[in-house]
Each structure stands twice: as C-alpha cells, then as structure tokens.
Amino acid sequence: MREPVKIRSRSNPGLKRFRLALEGRNRGAVLLEGVKLVGEALEGSWRPLEALVSPGLADRPGGGELLERLLAVPGPFRVLEAPERIFRGFSGVERAQGVLLLLERPVWKEEDLLGRGEEEVFLLVLCGVQDPGNVGALVRSASAAGATGAVLLPGTADPLKPKALRASAGQALSFPFLRVGSSGEALSFLETRGIPLRAAQAGSGPSFWDAPWELPLALAIGAEGGGLPREILSRAAGTVSIPMEGGVESLNLAVAGSLLLFEAARRRREGRRVR
C-alpha cells in the first residue's frame, strides 16, 4: 500500500490542482469534501484524481477506514497529507473533516436528460439561479422527486461547485444536467423534443395543486429576485404559482421549487394508480 505524500508548504506545486478547483478554475475536476461524501464517491463509477488529507483524518469517525481506501486506489493516484494549518486553507467548511478529493468531472450528453423515454421526461430548468446552495438544494429535490435532468441557463451556479455539491448531498454528481448559452437554446432543446414548459411565477397562473403535471414536462424556475426571462415566459405552455397566506409574499427559492417538484411527483403517482 502506498504512503501519503507529505506536504509542508502552501506553495508546494502538488497543491495546484486543489487550489484551482477551490477557485473554480479547474474545469476538468470536481472538488469533494467530507468523510461521507468522499466515501460515497469512491463507491461510484467516477474517476478519482487526487486526495488531500490532514493528519487528523484517521482520528475521525470512519476516517481511518477512508484513508485506507484512498491509499488503495489503483493507478496514478496520489494522497497528499498537509498539516491542519495548510489543509484548512483549502476547506470550504467551518469544521473541516480532514479529507478532500478531486474527481474527474462528469460530462453529460443531451440524451442523458431524457431518462427512460419521452413519456418519462421531467426536467428542471434553472434560469440564472446564482446561489450555489439553492442550486444544490434544487438538484437534490429534483433527483428525489424523480426528475430526469436539468437545463441550466446563463447565470446559474455550477451544481458541481463545492457549496452546491454539499447542498445536494452529492446528488449533483449523478444528476444529468445540460448548460445552454441562452433562453432560446433552452427552448429549442425542449421544443424539438416535444417537451412542454411550465413556468413557476409568483401570483400568476393556476395553483400548483390544480396545474396539469402530465409528462413529458419541463419546470422553469427563475433567479432569486429577478424571476424568469421574458422569452421563457412568453413561450411557456403555462405558468404555475404557490398560493400563500399570512401576508407572506414569497418563499425561499429552494423551498418553493421543492414544493413544485414534489407536487408533480405526487400527481404522477396518483395518475399511475388510476391507470
């Protein structure tokens, strides 16, 4: 079994890929953090590139076993070990767990978003959702609600950035998504495949309890505060809203999106029982 490569300086060139990933400039890699997330990633089909650990990893619950698994990864894979003071500079959380893993970034094709066939397609369309936490939470809810993928318009945060990955509890690694260059490109992708678009808009359209949710379908959710692009609204098959009481004007974006996604899932299950 290999041994960790000791790192003693922040300027060590071995840390370059981690630094670039932390800054969002390593486009070919995804940076994972935490014992649970890294452990789950090692069980998947993704290609691990490099790990960074702190000396205290073995003392954390599950840390010793995870370190052994990292050291047993085959191929040109390195485990770097840096002192806590250096490791914390690469951690994105307040209480670092002592392990970071670089994975080769998953690449999705358009066909990957279409699930098991046209009748099962249910897509999440995110329009300029900038907060990685919201993006990650929405991806997690979409995956749990049975959505087949996501279409990301310009301005939407990367679901594979560390904060979004944490918010998705790692679901973003296995949830297909396609980034497009404009609203028109997203609409073209949907229209050529016969996928109607329903736009979530506060106070407009039928209540999400009454709106149609038949598949195939795409659900568009707009930016925090900015809402949906005009082109999306004008060409959507319809809008859907969440009725609210008590003087509340809006909900957190991830909460609102999750309500819509799970109402769609509930309606689909009811339809299957009826048939």
Domains along the sequence of the chain with CATH = 5-104 (3.30.1330.30), 110-274 (3.40.1280.10)
Closest residue by Cα to residue 14 from 40, 53, 72, 61: 53
Q: What is the pLDDT of residues 120-152, one digit of tens each?
A: 899 999 999 999 999 999 999 999 999 999 999
Question: Quick one: pLDDT at residue 118?
Answer: 66
Q: What is the pLDDT of residues 158-177, one digit of tens each?
A: 999 989 999 999 999 999 99
Question: What's the pTM value of the predicted model, to 2 decimals?
Answer: 0.91
Q: Looking at 54-58, 72-76, 117-121, which range is the least confident one? A: 117-121
Question: Quick one: pLDDT at residue 275?
Answer: 38
Closest residue by Cα to residue 106 from 40, 164, 173, 170: 173
pLDDT at 253 > cutoff 60? yes
DSSP state string for 162-231 = HHHHHHTTTGGGTS-EEE-SSHHHHHHHHHTTT--EEEE-TT-SSBTTTS--PSSEEEEEEBTTTB--HH
Question: Quick one: pLDDT at residue 53?
Answer: 97
